[in-house]
Amino acid sequence: MQNLGSAREGARQWWMQRMTAVALIPLTLWLAASLLRHVADDYATLIAWLRTPLAAVLMVLLLMALCYHMALGLKVIIEDYVHLDRLQIAALTLIDLLSVALAVVGIFASLRVALSA
Amino acid sequence: MPAATSPRPALDWLKHLLEETVTLIRSSEQQPRVTLLRRFPVPRNFALPGNARIQHGRTWRAPPGAKRVKRFEIYRYDPDSGENPRIDTFEVDVGSCGPMVLDVLIKIKSEIDSTLTFRRSCREGICGSCAMNIDGSNWLACTRTIAGTAEPSTIYPLNHLPIIKDLVPDLTHLYAQYALIEPWLKTRGPVPERERLQSPAEADRLNGKDGKGPAACILCFCCTAGCPSHWWNGQRFLGPAALLQAWRWLADTRDEAAGERLDALEDPFRLYRCHTILNCTRTCPKGLNPGQAIGAIKQKIAQRRS
Ligand code: SF4
Ligand code: SF4
Ligand code: FES
């Protein structure tokens, strides 16, 4: 039962999962509302909207919170249900790498739209 | 339930559905008002290894002249026979039987099939021996009324544990997890001349104002056996019963080892594998709230971090 003892961690992930969840509530509401408002607009108007400082900042925050929250959640699912050691480690590593990649791509795209002349 | 005279039954039903799904379960005394599924929709015996597949057993007919016959489908397993587990059906005359499910089991053992094996001792809900799965939820056989069971009523041992025989599960691992939280008073200072006193308010933290504090736990393991996180990761996750007991010592004002207790618990699996599913609180036959105790431990750890 003692196995390898206590890892003395886990509190941070637990806290971050809750923090990102709380942050995601207003951020997703904001995104849904904005998209609904622009649903009839053409591409140029949408881009113009994304270039406003507020929209760009909120978009980057949303992407960071979303990817972090997604990685934590997916890893918990894998830890709970995948019990083949090698498969589990592979899946966990993949989730980490892919969510960082996803966040970087998304943030880069937003910034590029927002900052390009 | 909404009053029958309510002008808007559909709205009331929606309100109850919301309450049921949104409000937190605080005690097993909250009766579910809306039940979506009686059991998880997978076939029986799904993905079970060959020797665990449950088969149909025999049926014991009610004696002629029985007044009130009720059927009980009971899980039977005898490792010595080399056979798979089976479900036996017992038709019991509950007209000539005590009021509780445990009375039925004792009646079956003494009048119908003496090989039926189960644990019991106090027959009043205080020893925790007779915990089993009745009609799909874990409860004490001695505090579940026959009148409150389904027809036929199904009786299985506690879930997800190795079975020694019939309704007797092997609790060795759960006791080892209980031992791991070191359930005894730890102090540092010199031993006092007399008892370590507590104020009534301090004692309430253990007993609960309503008598449902962590000290009221009888270690029946209904909660741990019903916890999905413990099913998937029982080797590493301590489970609600052991964690409720860990909280019992953390909440004790006489105990001086809170720091090292939290050290031992702070682990992604031992403590944080609890996802607040609250099956534990929903099933505790003593009406305790292990889910809340686990939340309190997480709060203590958060406190000492910042
Ligand atoms: S918390 Fe309740 S269900 Fe769990 S072991 Fe204690 S008495 Fe039994
Ligand atoms: S609240 Fe935690 S301990 Fe209780 S059943 Fe859910 S996962 Fe298990
Ligand atoms: S026999 Fe003691 S709790 Fe049921």
Give the atom of ligand 3 at the shortest distance from the alpha carbon of B140.
4
E strand map for chain B: 55-60, 69-76, 86-93, 131-134, 137-140, 153-156, 163-165, 168-169
Phi, psi (degrees; rounded to nearest 5) at B247:
-65, -35
Tell me how many degrees the CA angle B132-B211-B271 measures, rounded to the nearest 5.
60
Residues of B in contact with A16 (CB under 8 A): none
B3 pLDDT above the threshold of 60 = no
B5 pLDDT above the threshold of 60 = no
Token pair, residue B285, equals 């036959």
Mutate to test the interface with A, among B236, B237, B272, B273 (most CBs of A within 10 A): B272
Strands B137-140 and B131-134, sheet pairing: antiparallel
| Rounded average pLDDT over B244-265 | 96
Rg (CA), chain B: 22
Q: Given this model, what pLDDT does residue B47 score?
A: 83
| Rounded average pLDDT over B106-123 | 97
Give the whole-angstrom CA distance, residue B51 versus residue A97: 41
Q: Which residue has the higher pLDDT, B40 or B214?
A: B214
Closest CA to B122 of B150, B143, B96: B143
SS3 B172: helix
Which of these ranges, B22-31, B84-93, B193-202, B241-250, has the smallest mean pLDDT?
B22-31
Q: How is domain B172-186+201-305 classified at the CATH fold level?
A: Fumarate Reductase Iron-sulfur Protein; Chain B, domain 2 (1.10.1060)
Q: Given this model, what pLDDT does residue A116 score?
A: 82
Compute, in degrees rounded to 10, the torsion defined by CA atoms B195, B199, B202, B206: 60
Cα–Cα distances in Å, from B18 out to B7, B77, B162, B199? Answer: 19, 41, 38, 40
ipTM of the complex in this document: 0.81
| Rounded average pLDDT over B131-153 | 95
| Chain B (227-256) residues lying within 8 Å, Cβ to Cβ, of chain A | 229, 232-233, 235-236
CATH no. for A9-115 = 1.20.1300.10
- Spans of all domains in chain B: 50-169, 172-186+201-305
Q: What is the pTM of this model?
A: 0.87
Confidence category of residue B36, pLDDT binned at 50, 70, 90: low
Closest CA to B238 of B252, B224, B251: B224
Q: HEC states along B249-269?
A: HHCCCCCCCHHHHHHHHCCCC
B277 pLDDT above the threshold of 80 = yes
Which of these ranges, B13-22, B141-150, B279-288, has the smallest mean pLDDT?
B13-22
Tell me how many degrees the CA angle B292-B198-B202 measures, rounded to the nearest 5.
25
Q: Given this model, what pLDDT does residue B27 score?
A: 85
Cα of first residue to Cα of last residue in chain A, in angstroms, is 61
Q: How do residues A57-93 score in pLDDT, each as one tens digit?
A: 999 999 999 999 999 999 999 999 998 889 999 999 9
Q: Given this model, what pLDDT does residue B1 score?
A: 42
Q: Biggest alpha carbon distance in chain B?
A: 72
Q: Given this model, what pLDDT does residue A56 score?
A: 94
Give the whole-angstrom CA distance, residue B206 versus residue B287: 15
Tell which one of B286, B289, B294 to mutate to probe ligand 1, the residue whose CB is within 8 A of the most ligand atoms: B286
Residue A76 exposed, middle or buried by CB count within 10 Å (0-12, 13-18, 19+): middle
Closest CA to A98 of A79, A74, A65: A74
Percentage of residues of chain B with pLDDT beyond 90: 78
B48 pLDDT above the threshold of 90 = no
Token pair, residue B192, equals 């006092």
Q: How do residues B255-264 score in pLDDT, each as one tens digit?
A: 999 999 999 9
Contact B267 A1 (CB under 8 A): no
Residue B277 CB–ligand 2 contact under 6 Å: yes
Give the whole-angstrom CA distance, residue B270 versus residue B197: 32
Q: How do residues A15-59 score in pLDDT, each as one tens digit?
A: 999 999 999 999 999 999 999 988 888 888 989 999 999 999 999
Q: Given this model, what pLDDT does residue B182 score?
A: 97
How many CA atoms does the CB half-sphere of A103 hold within 13 Å? 17
Residues of B in contact with A9 (CB under 8 A): 266-268
Q: What is the 8-class DSSP label of residue B112? A: I
Give the atom of ligand 2 at the shortest distance from the alpha carbon of B281.
4
Percentage of residues of chain B with pLDDT beyond 70: 93
Q: Which residue has the higher pLDDT, B37 or B55?
A: B55
Q: Which residues, in sequence order, are bridge partners of residue B55?
A: B86
Strands B153-156 and B131-134, sheet pairing: antiparallel
CATH no. for B50-169 = 3.10.20.30
